[in-house]
């Protein structure tokens, strides 16, 4: 597997990581922390010194590993982290991530105790949750900052515009809760037409003004996800929430390439076996694909349980010795097959690049997404925990995360 050098985005200079030797698993995701830091610096320069950068590390840091990514982006200049579920936040705290963490999704009142104990910032959308948090904060002698989402048109989570002032007034009557962030989430910031984005923005700003007129304003107002951050400077406000752009990808083809982003992950495996088959032999489940001539077939131990979408069959490629090699037959849970006709010198043990550069070619999560009929977010976050993560900085491995967690909490049967 190879990766372009972080400080040479225009000239294709590659450095091989095969020199790391056999100590590390041949099938692995390599996370380049220098590139991650470079993306943070690029985005910070783009938004300017008066706007904070919230790094979204939900879904295990979009598949990159939330703990390592969280610590790295804070060190590079992000001011706080964001996750969706409280359990993601609990995991980060248990892993000694000390940065401010905002929980953007729903929280059940029964989890208020841990939210307070771990000094997390909840998103409040109901009075019962606010009451539970207030009671726990009072017991702990703490003040809990909170964010509130205004549903301006995504129709997903949050508080409808006409409900905001009554809820904020009710929360204001509870002790130990402090207004910190007011935000909304755009439905179409990465689409070709931006009319709905401006409509949502205007609704949000109207709600914000109303709150401020009632002396109920929030310290931080934020609306911009990665797509809005990259193309709407008017919407940067006090803070922007960047997710996919941190990891080196643009949200969609419709978002202008206003800044230089570097993909952070290189994903690869190896040829676990090479076998030459005669003409007419079926390959993989169902025998949807058969050899049309005597053909060398390679086995790659990376399947849909690892993150390779089944729908790439007949469309997808990998890189072997710098050459595009088609995926043939059905992708199985643990492996897929490739036609090595175009790589006659391929041998068992050769590196297989799934995402990243090899020779003069490069594959990205965007390309895999096109083959699979999905988006890069889906591809990256779909790389399973059983794939080892190797973290690289200054050209050398600095940390490794091996496979799935071994922690298991037993549940006692009711008496």
pLDDT at 19: 47
CA of residue 322 relative to chain centroid, distance: 27
How many domains does the chain fold into?
2
User: Do 276 and 222 belong together in one domain?
Assistant: no
Q: Which is more confidently placed, 25 or 185? A: 185
Please pick, among 58, 249, 304, 391, the residue that the annotation labels catalytic: 58
Q: Is residue 119 part of a domain?
A: yes
Predicted confidence at residue 252, as pLDDT, reads 96
Does 57 share its domain with 155? yes
Q: What integer is the mean pLDDT of 280-284?
A: 97
Question: pLDDT (tens digit, 9 = 90+) per residue, 199-228?
Answer: 999 999 999 999 999 999 999 999 999 999
Statement: residue 16 has pLDDT above 90: no
Q: Which domain does 360 fall in, by range?
A: 271-387
- 220 shares its domain with 99: yes
Q: Is 400 part of any domain?
A: no
Go through the chain and tell me how many residues it has.
Answer: 415
Query: Does residue 112 lie in a domain region?
Result: yes
pLDDT value, residue 2 = 52
The question of whether 91 is a catalytic residue gets the answer no
Q: Are residues 61 and 134 in the same domain?
A: yes
- What pLDDT digit, counting tens, does each position of 224-255 carry? 999 999 999 999 999 999 999 999 999 999 99
What pLDDT is attached to residue 23? 78
Spatial separation of the C-alpha atoms in residues 89 and 119, rounded to whole Å: 10
Contacts of 350 (CB under 8 A, 6+ apart): 270, 271, 298, 320, 321
CA distance 152 to 235: 14
The answer on 307 and 240 residing in a single domain is no
Same domain, 102 and 204: yes
What is the pTM (predicted TM-score) of this model? 0.92
Classify strands 317-320 and 282-283 as parallel, antiparallel or unpaired. unpaired
Looking at residues 360-389, what average pLDDT do you find?
97
Query: Residue 407: pLDDT above 80?
Result: no
Q: From 268, 265, 266, select the one nearest 25 (Cα to Cα).
A: 268
Annotate 180-214 with DSSP letters as a single string.
Answer: EEEE---SSTTSS--HHHHHHHHHHHHHHHHHHHT
Q: How confident is the model at residue 24 (pLDDT cuts 50, 70, 90)?
A: confident
106 and 43 in a common domain: yes
CATH code where residue 360 lies: 2.40.37.10
- Is residue 118 among the annotated active site residues? no
> Of 13-27, 42-56, 232-246, 363-377, where does mean pLDDT reach its minimum?
13-27
367 CB-side CA count, 13 A: 15
For the chain, percent of residues with pLDDT exceeding 70: 92
Task: Give domain status of residue 257, yes or no.
Answer: no
- pLDDT band at residue 403, thresholds of 50, 70 and 90? confident
Instruction: Name the active-site residue from 94, 206, 279, 285.
Output: 285
Residue 7's SS3 state is coil
Query: How is residue 395 written in tokens?
Result: 């050209």
Q: What is the pLDDT of residues 300-335, one digit of tens each?
A: 999 999 999 999 999 999 999 999 999 999 999 999
Q: Are residues 226 and 332 in the same domain?
A: no
């Amino acid at each position: 597997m190879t990766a372009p050098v972080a400080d040479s985005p225009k000239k294709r200079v590659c450095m091989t990581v095969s020199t790391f030797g056999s100590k590390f698993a041949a099938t692995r995701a390599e996370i380049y922390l220098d590139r991650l830091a470079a993306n943070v610096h690029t985005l910070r320069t783009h938004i300017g010194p008066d706007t904070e950068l919230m790094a979204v590390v939900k879904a295990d840091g979009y598949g990159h590993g939330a703990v390592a990514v969280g610590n790295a982006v804070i060190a590079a200049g992000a001011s706080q982290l964001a996750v969706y579920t409280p359990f993601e936040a609990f995991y980060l705290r248990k892993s000694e991530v000390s940065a401010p963490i905002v929980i953007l999704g729903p929280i059940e009142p029964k989890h208020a105790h841990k939210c307070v104990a771990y000094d997390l910032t909840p998103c409040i959308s109901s009075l019962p949750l606010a009451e539970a948090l207030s009671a726990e904060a009072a017991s702990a002698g703490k003040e809990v900052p909170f964010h509130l989402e205004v549903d301006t048109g995504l129709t997903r989570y949050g508080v409808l515009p006409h409900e905001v002032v009554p809820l904020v007034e009710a929360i204001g009557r509870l002790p130990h809760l402090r207004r910190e962030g007011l935000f909304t989430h755009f439905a179409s910031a990465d689409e070709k037409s931006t009319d709905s984005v401006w409509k949502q923005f205007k609704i949000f700003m109207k709600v914000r003004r109303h709150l401020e007129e009632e002396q109920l304003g929030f310290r931080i107002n934020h609306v911009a996800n990665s797509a809005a951050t990259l193309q709407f400077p008017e919407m940067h406000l006090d803070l922007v929430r960047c997710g996919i752009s941190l990891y080196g990808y643009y949200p969609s083809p419709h978002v202008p390439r206003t800044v230089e982003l570097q993909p952070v992950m290189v994903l690869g495996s190896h040829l676990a076996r090479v076998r030459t088959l005669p003409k007419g032999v079926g390959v993989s489940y169902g025998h949807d694909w058969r050899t049309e001539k005597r053909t060398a077939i390679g086995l790659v131990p990376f399947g849909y349980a690892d993150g390779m979408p089944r729908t790439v069959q007949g469309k997808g490629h990998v890189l072997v010795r710098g050459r595009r090699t088609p995926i043939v037959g059905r992708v199985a849970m643990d492996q897929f097959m490739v036609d090595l006709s175009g790589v006659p010198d391929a041998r068992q043990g050769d590196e297989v690049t799934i995402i990243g550069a090899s020779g003069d070619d490069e594959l990205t999560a965007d390309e895999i997404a096109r083959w699979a009929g999905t988006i890069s977010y889906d591809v990256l976050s779909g790389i399973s925990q059983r794939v080892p993560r190797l973290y690289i900085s200054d050209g050398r491995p600095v940390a490794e995360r091996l496979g799935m967690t071994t922690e298991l909490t037993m549940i006692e049967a009711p008496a």
